């Protein structure tokens, strides 16, 4: 069964919207307009953050909702769009958990900072 381009974009938008809702529920200080979902044809980050949101969540998000994800191509796109922010690839496929991946050094720095450990 092949998926239409329109259906694929709809799946992608649904994941981006889910991520937005999760961020808003995690960071209750944020308002709906602090997090914007880019349309599927817009280049750059899939989740656009206000300065307040970026201060709480220092990531550049790329979302992929695909059955057969080319992880290396997705990571390259994520890194290209990240600029000075930490690239974060969020992905899932049908009936799966949502996963996130980022460079290991960034993960270790985040965990060390959360535990007040200098690196």
Q: pLDDT for 54-99, tens place per residue?
A: 999 999 999 999 999 999 999 999 999 999 999 999 999 999 999 9
Strands 35-37, 86-92: pairing kind: unpaired
Q: Residue 23 pLDDT > 80, yes or no?
A: yes
In a domain, 87, yes or no: yes
* pLDDT range class, residue 119, cuts 50, 70, 90: low
Can you give the pLDDT at residue 22? Answer: 97
Closest Cα to residue 100, out of 83, 112, 87?
87
Q: In total, how many domains does the chain have?
A: 1
Q: Which residues pair with 88 in a beta bridge?
A: 61
Overall pTM surpassing 0.75 (yes/no): yes
In a domain, 119, yes or no: no
User: What is the rounded distance in angstroms from the CA atom of residue 28 to the CA atom of residue 24?
Assistant: 6
Closest Cα to residue 89, out of 97, 106, 77?
77
Can you give the pLDDT at residue 102? Answer: 96
- Which domain does 30 fall in, by range? 5-114
């Amino acid at each position: 069964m092949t998926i239409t381009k329109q259906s694929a974009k709809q799946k992608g938008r649904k994941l981006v919207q889910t991520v937005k809702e999760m961020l808003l529920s995690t960071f209750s200080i944020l308002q709906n307009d602090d997090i914007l979902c880019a349309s599927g044809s817009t280049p750059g980050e899939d989740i656009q953050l206000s300065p307040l949101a970026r201060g709480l969540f220092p990531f550049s998000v790329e979302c992929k909702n695909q059955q057969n994800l080319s992880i290396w191509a997705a990571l390259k796109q994520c890194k290209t769009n990240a600029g000075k922010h930490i690239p974060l690839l969020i992905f899932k496929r049908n009936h799966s958990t949502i996963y996130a991946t980022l460079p290991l050094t960034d993960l270790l720095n985040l965990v060390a900072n959360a535990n007040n450990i200098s690196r």
